[in-house]
Amino acid sequence: KDSGYQLRQDDPSVLKEIIQLVHNETSKKDPRSLGSRTKFMIETIVSLKNNRLKQQSAVANTESLLRMKKFLSNLGKRIQVRATEPLRVSLDDIRSIETKGKWWIVGASWTANMIDHPSTSATPKTEKNEVASDALLNLAKQQKMNTEVRRSIFVVLMSSEEKIHNPYYALIAQRLCNYDHSFKITFQYCLWDFLRECGEDDIGGMELVKIAPIKNKESEKVELRRLVNVSKLYAMLLSSGELSVIILKTASFTKLHPQSRLFFQLLFSNVIILTQTQNARKRNPQVLAQIFLKALPNPTLSQGILFFLHHFVKKGGILKDENEKEIVKWGCDVIKQAIKKN
């Protein structure tokens, strides 16, 4: 009733079209088949057409609607404080009115001078984090991230330092690789840089070795946590097909540094485990074979992988779960048969 009268005032032609459509549809049906609600709506529309509705009630409803709109629009302009809880004004706040001000009074100045409270003062750690965040924000602007949401997501991703592996970042890496092939090259070079940190100074080709900074072999070792997390990241990228085992073409599997050896043990074990299920009857050897058959164009790489799997992975020495050991052993046999067969 309200909207019909308002529509009659605003746009009578549209109301006429609506009434005509309703009349055409109802004329096609048997009046006895119409429900009570449908009949009521038709009667109301006919009354609206003939202007039989009570204009006074419609006007009253319209006025109440306008009052409600006006009230809601003014809510944001009003300053009204209705305290449901007592303000926690301490004795220290009262004593320090001259230095800090009256924070509990609306509109009063407050200097927030907290020098005498060392617990709330900025620490070197927070200052360092703020500097890092500013640097990431500047980098986000250089990457032409023009919205606050994009910059915030970028800072969160680039500054995250979770100790436990989070597959979420691997999913982001997969999306990046799907988005542009250049990201695959980037992940390849990142892996080579990581392996050089692990002690493989000659990895990545002679040109990269020449321009790479010279590192002291007695420098600190790569943390075990980082080895595990990076191996899981690249295992997910390899098992999903976003990256190819060809990225390992510069690795010499017969003479690896102990840290690099552990990394590749974790990498190959995780690739096998991620592509298979615990149920032996539902295992898919074709999926695993397709991953490592990509190494066939490079005979040195394929033979190096077979050598490493046989001597360092098949026994499952780094795994604790017996089921995972059995899966890895089975996977090594599948890879060996697939490469030798082709």
Averaged pLDDT, 83-111: 70
Are 190 and 245 in the same domain? yes
> Would you say residue 37 lies in a domain?
yes
The total number of structural domains that make up the chain: 4
> Would you say residue 251 lies in a domain?
yes
Q: What is the pLDDT of residues 152-193, one digit of tens each?
A: 888 888 777 778 888 988 999 999 999 999 999 999 999 999
> Would you say residue 82 lies in a domain?
no
Q: CA angle, corner 230, sides to 227 and 236, nearest 5?
A: 135
Are 108 and 128 in the same domain? no
Averaged pLDDT, 242-268: 93
Averaged pLDDT, 208-213: 54
Please give the pLDDT value at position 78: 57
Are 317 and 184 in the same domain? yes
Looking at 17, 47, 75, which one is the last position of a domain? Answer: 75
Are 9 and 148 in the same domain? no
CA 140 to mean position of chain CA atoms: 17
Residue 126's pLDDT band (boundaries 50, 70, 90)?
low
Q: Which of 333, 339, 195, 202 is nearest to 262 (CA)?
A: 195
> Would you say residue 85 lies in a domain?
no
**26-62 burial, b for 16+ CB within 10 Å, e for fewer?**
eeeeeeeeeeeeeeeebeebeebbeeebeeeebeeee
Q: Which of 66, 64, 65, 15 is nearest to 44 (CA)?
A: 15
Looking at 107, 135, 159, which one is the last position of a domain? Answer: 159
Are 183 and 330 in the same domain? yes
> Would you say residue 83 lies in a domain?
no
Are 182 and 302 in the same domain? yes
Are 150 and 182 in the same domain? no
Are 34 and 105 in the same domain? no
Q: Which amino acid is at 99?
A: T
> Would you say residue 294 lies in a domain?
yes
Averaged pLDDT, 60-70: 77
> Would you say residue 81 lies in a domain?
no
Averaged pLDDT, 305-310: 94
Are 186 and 266 in the same domain? yes
> Looking at the predicted structure, is the pLDDT value of residue 16 above 50?
yes
Structural domain boundaries enclosing 30: 2-75
Are 103 and 138 in the same domain? no
Are 115 and 138 in the same domain? no
Residue 338's pLDDT band (boundaries 50, 70, 90)?
very high
Are 297 and 172 in the same domain? yes
